[in-house]
Amino acid sequence: MSSWYARLGAAVMFFCVVPMFAARQTFLPGPSFEPDTTLTGSSLSGWRTLGDAEWQMTSGNLTGTPGSSGAGGWLAMNRSFQDVELFTRFQCTGGCVTGILFRIEKTPDGGMKGVYASLSEGKAVMYFDVTVDAQGRITDRTPLRSGGGKMRVAPPASPNPTHRAAPAYNPGRFSPYAQAPGVDYPYTKPDSSLYPDEWNDVEMIFDANILRVDQNNGRSTGGVSDSSEGYGPIAFYVGGSGKVEFKDIAYKDIHFHYRAAEDTSPAFRKQTISDFYYSWGAASADFNHDGIPDIVSGPYIYLGPDYTKSEEIYLGETVNPSTGWATKSWMEFAADFTGDGWPDVLACKFIDADMGCYLYVNPKGESRRWDVYRVLDKFDSEVALLRDIDGKGKPALVYAADGYVRYAEPDPANPTGPWTVHNISERGFDTAHGIGVGDINGDGLPDIMNAYGWWEHPAPGNSEAQWKYHPEVFGRFGTGVGGSGMAVYDVNGDGLNDIVTVLDAHGWGMAWFEQKRDAQGNISFIRHMIMDSRWTKNAGNIAFSEAHGDVTADINGDGIPDFVVGKRYFTHLDDYADPDPYGSPVLYWYETVRDPKAPGGARFAPHLIDNRSGSGSDILAVDLNHDGRIDIVTATRLGTFIFWNNVKRAKPQ
């Protein structure tokens, strides 16, 4: 465990009850990356000063005080970088002006120039090209155009910057990534603005031609440089009056990339059924009626029992994993949606003007591509589930769209036409991440939940009745809120169903929520952390970000469900838009262990399955070879994989 954790205290990110966030965002205990260097010393030997300021280093804490001239001064490292990550906390008080300069180059007059991130000019970091004279005064400051987001290299500036093309899809005020005004949420998105005279944290990534900053564990901004080729030291600046303090300074040279040696658990046999990126989802059914489960992922059905032969259901075209998404198959589901006895495929796409869900109808053994019908034209979920909601034995798609948590099902009289949609929430409660189905209140009916709480299934026979909303905090705001599939089962064996979920699919955190009931039967939940950031105490000392796909299954046969979860490599694209995007794409199963000595009466023990696959938007758990063991299938940027389960069987509990 890192010294960060020891310094910051074990209580920083652990709570025994579900928290209600304050107006201001909470800090993460440390950077999202593993630093090459963390400053701990008290010497400035080797550092270079320029201008009128006094600098002191004490146990890694850096203090800068401007001189009487008010011109300000700089403290430059003795090491140069081109692409770099830097984390620090800072406090700028008494009217001080501060910032950090990257890719410093010397100028002929004894000064310097570089790309400057200003940390004291409002609520957000500001970006400039600056020139500094030999006395440390900024003589030229040119604002950079804004940029960042889901790209590594920003394109050249538009010749007509006042004109902007309309987006392909605009969800309006009801966005799955934002909170709508006027909606009473159980917790609101914290304010990650820079706060004057208070401590703030920033994680700065200068990669290619984009300098991007995640400030106060939330808001991300960026500036675009004209070049990707600059190279030089980093310098801290203080001007104005007062002083600036920097602490927890850590950095990493990201010119170098690291890849862990491949490691697949001996308890699983890994089979690669596709080497290419076609989908973020997979499903299983007996598509050819030979009595053997098959797998569909993207445009291909992989035929059992050996899964070396495939057939195409739509024109297959691989996607560049660096710059594109497999939008035709964000997620895939299999069931007999048409009622003809043959399993069909439902593929859902999350973005673009032609977003929605597409039904591919099984041609009943004909060797041709399948007929396709657009059955849903709105789909705002990056995760969804296929479940029987109304008790009729027919699958329905549970998802979010147009501001609502909802489910949709085919019209039996016209299954290839537009599906029937049922909204179960008020408008504004949709999230792009995190959805679950399970019986929370013990009435035998499936309830639906997301990061904002759970909705109680109405009495049988009244599918149009309003679902009662129970606000709860089942997520955590970081870069986003909500995880992937939310598992509902009795974790600790007390007879009450609990919830296991990732907290932020594009950040950090995983927890289980213990259900409690008072004397009147009122339901509440206590949060128990399973995994937080790399700087906190975690189950098995395992921590990874971007846990975007998961599934519940009894992996070891002890009769208790376990939680299978994986990291999505890049998460979005080949860039630094997300924390630790290039970390090993791991896949773990977390064993549910009922332990009366553990908080809540249970703990989760992580077991590595593989570190070269990860997850997409979901994970498939299915017994493919009918040996009584649940196998795992995952579709990712790196391909599509089967993990054949040979885990030692546990004694049923």
Q: What is the DSSP string of 523-553?
A: EEEEEEEEE--TTS--GGG---S---EEEEE
Q: Are residues 277 and 204 in the same domain?
A: no
Output the domain CATH number for residue 59. 2.60.120.560
Residue entry with tokens 């280093």 = 57
Q: CA torsion 331→337→338→342, rounded to 10°?
A: 90
Q: Are residues 190 and 88 in the same domain?
A: yes
Q: Are residues 272 and 247 in the same domain?
A: no
d(CA 617, CA 383): 6
Q: Are residues 475 and 385 in the same domain?
A: yes
Q: Are residues 66 and 207 in the same domain?
A: yes
Structure tokens at 628: 């009584």
Q: Would you say residue 26 lies in a domain?
A: no
Torsions phi, psi of 601, nearest 5?
Answer: 85, 15
- 3-state secondary structure string across 229-284: CCCEEEEEEEEECCEEEEEEEEEEECCCCCCCCCCECCCEEEEEEECCCCCCCCEE
> Which positions ≥6 away from 498 have C-beta within 8 Å?
488, 489, 490, 491, 492, 512, 513, 514, 515, 525
Domain boundary, last residue among 253, 288, 320: 253
Whether the per-residue pLDDT at 13 is higher than 50: the answer is no
Q: Are 281 and 631 in contact (CB under 8 A)?
A: no
Average pLDDT, rounded, for the chain: 92
Size of the chain, expressed as the number of residues it contains:
653
DSSP, collapsed to helix, strand or coil, labels residue 601 as: helix
**Helices and strands in the chain: count of H runs, count of E runs:** 1, 43
Q: According to the model, what pLDDT value does residue 1 have?
A: 39
Q: Would you say residue 60 lies in a domain?
A: yes
Q: According to the model, what pLDDT value does residue 17 have?
A: 37
Output the domain CATH number for residue 419. 2.130.10.10
Domain boundary, last residue among 253, 280, 307: 253
What is the span of the domain harbouring residue 546? 268-645
Q: Would you say residue 637 lies in a domain?
A: yes
d(CA 311, CA 406): 33
The number of distinct structural domains making up the chain is: 2
Helix (H) or strand (E) holding 586: none
Residue entry with tokens 């332990």 = 595
d(CA 283, CA 639): 15
Q: Would you say residue 263 lies in a domain?
A: no
Q: Are residues 288 and 220 in the same domain?
A: no
Q: Are strands 331-335 and 344-349 parallel, antiparallel or unpaired?
A: antiparallel
Q: Are residues 218 and 304 in the same domain?
A: no
Domain boundary, last residue among 221, 253, 285: 253
Give the end-to-end CA distance of the chain in Å, rounded to a whole number. Answer: 33
Q: Would you say residue 652 lies in a domain?
A: no
Task: Please report the sign of the dihedral spanned by the C-alpha atoms of residue 613, residue 618, residue 621, residue 622.
Answer: negative
Task: Calculate what percentage of the chain has a pLDDT beyond 90.
Answer: 83
Q: Are residues 339 and 197 in the same domain?
A: no
Q: Are residues 242 and 279 in the same domain?
A: no
Structure tokens at 440: 């929370």
Identify the residue with better confidence: 308 or 158: 308
What band does 465 get if pLDDT is binned at 50, 70 and 90?
confident
Whether the per-residue pLDDT at 163 is higher than 50: the answer is no
Q: Are residues 58 and 166 in the same domain?
A: yes
Q: Are residues 227 and 358 in the same domain?
A: no
Please give the C-alpha separations between residue 428 and each of 4, 169, 184, 423, 432, in angstroms, as whole numbers. Answer: 38, 18, 9, 11, 12
Q: Are strands 371-376 and 385-387 parallel, antiparallel or unpaired?
A: unpaired
**What is the CB-side half-sphere exposure of residue 532 using CA atoms within 13 A?**
21
Q: According to the model, what pLDDT value does residue 157 have?
A: 84
Q: Would you say residue 593 lies in a domain?
A: yes
Is the whole-model pTM more than 0.75? Answer: yes
Residues β-bridged to residue 383: none
| Of 9-18, 267-276, 298-307, 514-523, minimum mean pLDDT range | 9-18
Closest CA to 230 of 112, 340, 148: 112
Q: Are 629 and 557 in contact (CB under 8 A)?
A: yes
Q: Are residues 460 and 576 in the same domain?
A: yes
What are 257-294's pLDDT values in tens digits? 999 999 999 999 999 999 999 999 999 999 999 999 99
